[in-house]
């Protein structure tokens, strides 16, 4: 395979820091920033030299872990920024000073970066990526690419048009981490390359969000309202839709000439079923916050139980506790567990009233808020069906169907599972094993790829490694960005956008209760925007 694939018999070797490793800026020092920064540091895939983060405690924690360490010194000008606009201003001025000869490229205090990981809130992606595009930096953007279809197309236009202006392409990655786990590497190889089930007929794929994870992120947290971010299918599961299209639609490998096998029809049904006021227990009365609720000690979704009993009291000051109180790690280390708990309880006690203006409610998350009294409106259960008609011609591929189910009330948290049905056999998979049954022999072969650390079954590590390897290949002059993108990431920005388009088509189907024709949707919703951008050829996506 063309991807970074950890060995099944030996640990991944840790390469030395070489002359062409990426110099990396992280914009956003939250949970996902750490999820990529940790393997980059551990596997020595690049040198993290700068962080941009508006919350001082998060910025300092990130810097201590990955940039300047525990040394007591003033940070250099290029090492930390409060706002991403500050970095762009710094970098523009730095380049101008280099031209004038005021500074030299090797000056320790004024070093630049060649690579940026964008890990800010989803709704900020479009502004940040468009702002970075003229700098010609390699960009890895956390998923989703943007929160609207228009902005996804806008990013495509901004990046590709700047490639023309600069006269070169850069590596562009997206946080579709499901493509990069050892488990899914093997699963795709069995299905597409080895064809162990023959022609693929259908897939059933489930993402169990997790009962308390749903409450944390999509009822109380940053992704609770569509007008603040986007539908949960996009913010939570766009990489699941991408995973299905990777299995069903993408070329067998970047070295083949088979065209993408595009969807024909998309349908979807989903709703906010559980976390709404009509489901509130009568005994909870008028309480809107867990800490003033009469049934808090017995409530399944008690914020005190979730964040303190199940996490802080067990010594965990990372996710999800540090989302509620970013400075919790420093408090725990410097002032002790008792004071850290008091501060966390104060944060959980914060609440809003009916008189609080909606724009103030939207400005932040309310992690002590009653889950039946929150302002959330995203789906907690949704299904999507993708039908792909038979593709004729020399590259003929059989018709097939994918059914995706995203659901909140589950024991497992984000541990995907599914079944794949083919003309010659059947596969079932979860986060640990793959079982392939042959109709011809009646035998079932079970595969258990070596377990790797990191989130998404090793997908976070795998994506970080593949992206950094692609950038290093470009910096070393081994290949151009387009070849490196194909060799290490397996898809270009066009395919990234196409999988997002499928999500927006599914949302149209859900909202309007219709069957969406892919070609019609593409013509009506995508072609027009591509035409406005101008230089981009729509057939590069179609």
Report pLDDT digits (tens) over 434-482.
999 999 999 999 999 876 666 767 889 999 999 999 999 999 999 999 9
Q: Which of 187-191, 255-259, 380-384 has the lowest mean pLDDT?
A: 255-259
Query: Is the pLDDT assigned to residue 540 strictly greater than 50?
Result: no
Collapse the DSSP code of 253 into the 3-class scheme (helix H, G, I; strand E, B; otherwise coil) and give the result: coil
Spatial distance between the Cα atoms of 270 and 233, rounded to a whole number of angstroms: 10
Label residues 327-362 b or e (16+ Cβ within 10 Å = b).
bbbbbbeeeeeeebbebbbebbeebbeeeeeeeebe
**What is the spatial distance between Cα 367 and Cα 511, in angstroms, rounded to a whole number?**
28
Span between the terminal Cα atoms of the chain, in Å: 25
Q: What number of other Cβ atoms are within 10 A of residue 68's Cβ?
A: 18
What pLDDT, on a 0 to 100 scale, did the predictor assign at position 20? 87
User: Cα(399)–Cα(263) distance, rounded to whole angstroms?
Assistant: 10
Q: Note the pLDDT of residue 397.
A: 80
Q: Residue 382: CB partners within 8 Å, gap ≥ 6?
A: 232, 233, 268, 269, 270, 271, 405, 406, 407, 510
Cβ-based neighbours of 330, under 8 Å, separated by 6 or more:
57, 60, 61
Question: Per-residue pLDDT tens for 398-448?
Answer: 899 999 999 999 999 999 999 999 999 999 999 889 999 999 999 999 999
With respect to CATH, is domain 179-275+377-456 assigned 1.10.3720.10?
A: no
Find the mean pLDDT for residues 353-373. 96
**Cα 396 from Cα 258, distance rounded (Å):** 9
In 364-390, which positions are buried (b, 16+ CB within 10 angstroms) versus exposed (e)? ebbbbbbbbbbbbbbbbbbbbbbbbee
Q: 51 pairs with which residues across the strands?
A: 26, 80
R_g of the chain, CA atoms, integer Å: 24
Give, as one character, the DSSP assignment of residue 260: P
**Sorting pLDDT into bands at 50, 70 and 90, what band is 395?**
low
- State yes or no: pLDDT of 538 exceeds 80: no
**Burial environment of residue 277 by CB neighbours within 10 A (0 to 12, 13 to 18, 19 or more):** exposed
User: What DSSP string runs through 135-151?
Assistant: GT-EEEEPSSS-SSHHH
* Axis crossing angle, helix 31-42 with helix 459-475, rounded to the nearest 10: 60
3-state SS, residue 210: coil
Q: What is the pLDDT of residue 457?
A: 73
What is residue 290's predicted lDDT score, i.e. its pLDDT?
98
pLDDT at site 3: 37
Q: Among residues of the chain, what percentage have pLDDT more than 70?
A: 91
Question: How far, in Å, CA of 138 to CA of 471, rounded?
Answer: 7
User: How do 417-422 and 425-429 pair as beta strands?
Assistant: antiparallel
Distance CA 86, CA 82 (A): 7
Residue with tokens 């989703």: 144
Residue 71: its pLDDT value, please?
74
Tokens of 381: 């259960």
pLDDT of amino acid 10? 29
Q: How far apart are the C-alpha atoms of 118 and 65, rounded to whole Å?
A: 18
Q: How far is CA 298 from CA 153, 281, 294, 505, in A?
A: 48, 12, 9, 41
Q: What percent of the chain has pLDDT over 90?
A: 81
Q: Between 1.10.3720.10, 3.40.50.620, 3.40.50.720, 3.30.70.420, what CATH number should domain 23-176+459-490 receive?
A: 3.40.50.720
Query: 535 falls in which pLDDT band (50, 70, 90)?
Result: very low
Whether 520 has a pLDDT exceeding 60, the answer reads: yes
CA dist 542 and 169 (Å) reads 21
Going by the DSSP 8-state scheme, the letter that residue 103 receives in this structure is: S
For residue 205, the SS3 value is: strand
pLDDT over 60 at 2, yes or no: no
pLDDT at 370 over 50: yes
Given a contact cutoff of 8 angstroms between Cβ atoms, the answer to whether 393 and 194 are in contact is: no
SS3 at position 457: helix
Confidence of residue 16 (pLDDT cuts 50, 70, 90): low
Q: Which among 387, 380, 382, 378 has a CA at the least distance from the CA of 405?
A: 382
In the DSSP assignment, the letter for residue 369 is B
3 state SS for 184-200: HHHHHHHHHHCCCCCCE
Whether this prediction's pTM lies above 0.75 is answered by: yes
SS3 category, 174: strand
Which residues partner with 30 through β-bridges?
A: none
**Alpha helix ranges (H) inside 296-381:** 303, 321-324, 328-349, 358-362
Using CA atoms, how far apart are residues 3 and 259, in angstroms rounded to an integer?
20
Length of the chain: 542
At 488-505, the pLDDT tens digits run: 999 999 999 999 999 999
Query: In the chain, where are the structural domains located?
Result: 23-176+459-490, 179-275+377-456, 277-362
């Amino acid at each position: 395979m063309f991807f970074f694939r950890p060995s099944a018999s030996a640990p991944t070797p840790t390469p030395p820091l070489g002359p062409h490793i990426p110099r990396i800026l992280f914009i956003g020092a939250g949970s996902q920033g750490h999820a990529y920064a940790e393997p980059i540091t551990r596997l020595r895939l690049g040198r993290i030299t700068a962080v941009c983060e508006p919350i001082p405690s998060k910025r300092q924690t990130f810097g201590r872990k990955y940039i300047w360490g525990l040394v007591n010194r003033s940070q250099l000008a290029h090492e930390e920024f409060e706002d991403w606009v500050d970095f762009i201003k710094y970098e523009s001025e730095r380049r101008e000073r280099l031209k004038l000869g005021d500074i030299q490229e090797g000056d320790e205090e004024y070093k630049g970066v060649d690579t940026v990981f964008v890990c800010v809130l989803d709704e900020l992606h479009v502004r940040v990526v468009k702002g970075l595009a003229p700098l010609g930096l390699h960009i890895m953007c956390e998923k989703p690419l943007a929160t609207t279809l228009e902005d996804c197309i806008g990013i495509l236009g901004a990046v590709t048009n700047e490639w023309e202006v600069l006269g070169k392409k850069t590596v562009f990655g997206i946080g579709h981490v499901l493509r990069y786990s050892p488990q899914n590497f093997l699963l795709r190889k069995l299905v597409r390359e080895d064809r162990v089930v023959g022609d693929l007929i259908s897939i059933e794929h489930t993402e169990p969000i997790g009962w308390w994870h749903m409450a944390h992120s999509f009822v109380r947290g940053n992704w609770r309202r569509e007008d603040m971010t986007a539908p949960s299918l996009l913010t939570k599961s766009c990489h699941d839709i991408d995973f299905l299209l990777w299995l069903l639609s993408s070329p067998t490998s970047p070295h083949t000439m088979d065209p993408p096998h595009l969807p024909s029809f998309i349908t979807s049904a989903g709703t906010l079923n559980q976390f709404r006021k009509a489901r509130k227990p009568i005994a909870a009365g008028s309480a809107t916050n867990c800490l003033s609720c009469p049934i808090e000690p017995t409530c399944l979704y008690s914020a005190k139980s979730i964040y303190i009993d199940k996490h802080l009291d067990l010594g965990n000051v990372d996710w999800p506790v540090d989302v509620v109180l970013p400075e919790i790690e420093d408090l725990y280390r410097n002032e002790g567990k008792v004071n850290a708990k008091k501060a966390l309880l104060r944060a959980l006690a914060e609440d809003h009233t009916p008189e609080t203006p909606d724009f103030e409610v939207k400005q932040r998350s309310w992690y002590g808020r009653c889950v039946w009294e929150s302002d959330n409106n995203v789906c907690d259960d949704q299904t999507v069906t993708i039908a792909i008609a038979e593709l004729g011609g020399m590259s003929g591929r059989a018709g097939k169907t994918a059914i995706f189910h995203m659901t909140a009330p589950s024991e497992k948290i984000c541990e995907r599972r599914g079944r794949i049905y083919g003309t010659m056999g059947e596969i079932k998979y979860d986060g640990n094993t793959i079982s392939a049954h042959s109709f011809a022999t009646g035998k079932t072969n079970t595969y258990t790829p070596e377990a790797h650390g990191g989130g998404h079954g090793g997908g976070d590590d795998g994506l970080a490694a593949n992206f950094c390897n692609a950038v290093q290949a470009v910096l070393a002059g081994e290949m151009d960005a387009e070849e490196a993108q194909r060799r290490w990431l397996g898809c270009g920005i066009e395919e990234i956008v196409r999988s997002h388009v499928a999500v927006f088509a599914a949302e149209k189907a859900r909202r309007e209760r219709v069957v969406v024709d892919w070609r019609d949707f593409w013509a009506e919703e995508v072609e027009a925007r591509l035409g406005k951008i101008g230089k981009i050829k729509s057939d590069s996506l179609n």
